[in-house]
């Protein structure tokens, strides 16, 4: 059985929390795309765990965890995150963590050029618009992957004669070509290569052929949960290009990032924040640059887990959710952070876009078009009640249930879970 958790908006919907809630029923949690640009916060018994690159399945001591071939890995950050989680009390992490031999490596020079490129964009473009990346080297690493000059895990851990020499040569060439492009940035090639000789030995015990790992697991009827990172509107093809990340963050990335057949996938859970947030630059039609947006930001404690940046806030956008559903084919939804709306008397929901009075059929591909859309809202009454201690779906206030029903009817997908607070216990389940 392979089930998938995917972000349906611009990220930070609360994917980590759903994974944590479900993980007790699974044998394996796998990440298939992205790197440590992700930030998944999980609160268990009052302890807060921040995951960036590692799968959230590590919180369950019985669960194995895989970083698939579609993930990009900065090894110093990988070990740092592992040590931080161990220090917080997670046990046997090293025996339960596996890394695909085909995953690409993120190096410090990727992170340096990520920042140089952002500075260049901020200075050069007409409106001074950089992407607002996390600076973790994600884009430059997928770029070297696509240009076929990247280095993968197997290149590093290979002990056959000549393998290390080839790694060194390719590494030097990568730095040199970047210095030709960006100018001679400060970089200690020899020091880095010495560091990677050590990291190579540290990494070896984690490395697997992930195609075999996944297929053996499926053959043995293991229960596998795929933890999506980033989100559909940040997808390199379907997101608000170029204000996106550099990987396939939707269902396609699950197939290519793990090497599993499409038909092996069972359920696809779409995680939807009850309103919308976005970190970084780029279009956001239902953004509220006003007191309502500030209120969502404050009550929702909307700060990025990876960069600490304030998240931009606005109303739920069902044009986005419908588009996201068409691509990912969610079988059910998890609406998160409904409690954040408790004190809003009226709650607008974006239901369509139009340009000069002409209604658009779907989410537009073009940013100039997107910049000129008028959003039509349907406003639903709030419930003006604290729902954080509600224990069952049926016990939710009527207006909260109407809000959820409106979403279900609009996108044609049932709501299966509702988040009413950050803790593990604050999640209501509805039989569907
Ligand atoms: P992810 O990247 O999709 O895993 O989401 P993040 O962890 O970056 O951001 C979601 C934030 O909302 C985290 O701080 C969670 O602890 C918190 N959270 C998740 N679900 C709920 C909920 O239902 N209510 C509230 N108030 N907070 C939630
Ligand atoms: P999770 O898994 C929110 C955004 C960045 C930036 C853009 C490109 O926590 O939902 P990158 O460093 O990937 O090249 O940045 O994508 N971004 C995210 N925003 N949540 C995420 O992950 C994100 N991953 C990338 O803020 O706008
Ligand atoms: Mg996040």
Whether the CB of 140 sits within 6 Å of ligand 1: no
pLDDT score for 308: 86
Rounded to whole angstroms, the Cα distance separating 31 from 267 reads 16
Degrees to nearest 5, angle at CA 41 with 58 and 393: 100
Measure 221 CA to ligand 2 centroid, in angstroms.
33
| Ligand 1 closest atom vs CA 43 | 16
**20, 27, 40, 155: the active-site residue:** 40
421 assigned to a ligand binding site: yes
| Ligand 2 closest atom vs CA 133 | 15
> Angle formed by the axes of helices 163-182 and 108-124, to 10°?
20
Compute and round to an integer the Cα radius of gyration of the chain.
Answer: 22
Average model confidence (pLDDT) for the chain? 96
Per residue in 23-51, pLDDT (tens digit) is 999 999 999 999 999 999 998 888 999 99
Which residue shows structure tokens 């207006």?
Answer: 399
- pLDDT of 337 > 70? The answer is yes
- pLDDT of 349 > 80? The answer is yes
Ligand 1 atom 25, closest CA: 421
- pLDDT of 125 > 70? The answer is no
Q: Work out the end-to-end distance of the chain between its first and last CA atoms, rounded to an integer number of angstroms.
A: 19
Ligand 2 atom 27, closest CA: 280
The pair of structure tokens assigned to 162 is 């000549």
pLDDT score for 44: 86
**The model's pTM:** 0.97
Pairing of strands 224-227, 47-51: unpaired
Which residue shows structure tokens 């010495």?
Answer: 194
Ligand 2 atom 21, closest CA: 230
pLDDT score for 123: 85
Contact 335, 272 (CB under 8 A): yes
The pair of structure tokens assigned to 259 is 């090497």
Rounded to whole angstroms, the Cα distance separating 297 from 300 reads 5
Contact 313, 275 (CB under 8 A): yes
Measure 17 CA to ligand 3 centroid, in angstroms.
10
Question: Helix, strand or coil for residue 33?
Answer: coil
* Least distant ligand from the CA of 49: 1
Contact 8, 231 (CB under 8 A): yes
């Amino acid at each position: 059985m392979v089930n998938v958790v995917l972000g349906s908006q611009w990220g930070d919907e609360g994917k980590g929390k759903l994974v944590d809630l479900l993980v007790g029923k699974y044998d394996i949690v796998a990440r298939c795309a992205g790197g440590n640009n992700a930030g998944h916060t999980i609160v268990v018994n009052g302890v807060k765990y921040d995951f960036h690159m590692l799968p959230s399945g590590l919180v369950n001591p019985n669960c194995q965890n895989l970083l698939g071939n579609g993930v990009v890995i900065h090894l110093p950050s990988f070990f740092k995150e592992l040590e931080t989680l161990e220090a917080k009390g997670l046990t046997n992490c090293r025996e339960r963590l596996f890394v695909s031999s085909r995953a690409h490596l993120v190096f410090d020079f990727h992170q340096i050029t990520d920042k140089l490129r952002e500075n260049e964009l901020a200075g050069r473009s007409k409106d001074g618009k950089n992407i607002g990346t996390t600076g973790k080297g994600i884009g430059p690493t997928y770029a070297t992957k696509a240009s076929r000059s990247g280095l993968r895990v197997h290149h590093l851990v290979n002990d056959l004669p000549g393998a290390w020499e080839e790694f060194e040569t390719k590494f030097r060439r990568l730095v040199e070509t970047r210095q030709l492009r960006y100018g001679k940035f400060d970089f200690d090639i020899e020091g880095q290569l010495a560091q990677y000789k050590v990291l190579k030995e540290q990494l070896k015990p984690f490395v697997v052929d992930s195609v075999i790992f996944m297929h053996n697991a499926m053959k043995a009827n293991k229960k596998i949960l795929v933890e999506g990172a980033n989100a559909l509107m940040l997808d390199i093809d379907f997101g608000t290009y170029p204000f996106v990340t550099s990987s396939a963050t939707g269902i396609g990335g699950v197939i290519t990032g793990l090497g599993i057949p499409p038909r092996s996938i069972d359920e696809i859970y779409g995680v939807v924040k009850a309103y919308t947030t976005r970190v970084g630059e780029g279009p956001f039609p239902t953004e509220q640059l006003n007191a309502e947006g500030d209120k969502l930001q404050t009550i929702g404690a909307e700060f990025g887990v990876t960069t600490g940046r304030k998240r931009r806030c606005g109303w739920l956008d069902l044009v986005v959710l419908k588009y996201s559903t068409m691509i990912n084919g969610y079988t059910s939804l998890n609406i998160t952070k409904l409690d954040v709306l408790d004190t809003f008397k009226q709650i607008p929901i974006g239901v369509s876009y139009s340009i000069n009075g002409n209604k658009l059929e779907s989410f537009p591909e073009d940013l100039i078009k997107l910049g000129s859309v008028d959003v039509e809202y349907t406003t639903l009454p709030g419930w003006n009640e604290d729902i954080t201690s509600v224990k069952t779906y049926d016990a939710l206030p009527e207006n909260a249930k109407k809000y959820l029903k409106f979403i279900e009817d609009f996108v044609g997908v049932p709501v299966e879970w509702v988040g009413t607070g950050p803790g593990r216990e604050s999640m209501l389940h509805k039989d569907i």
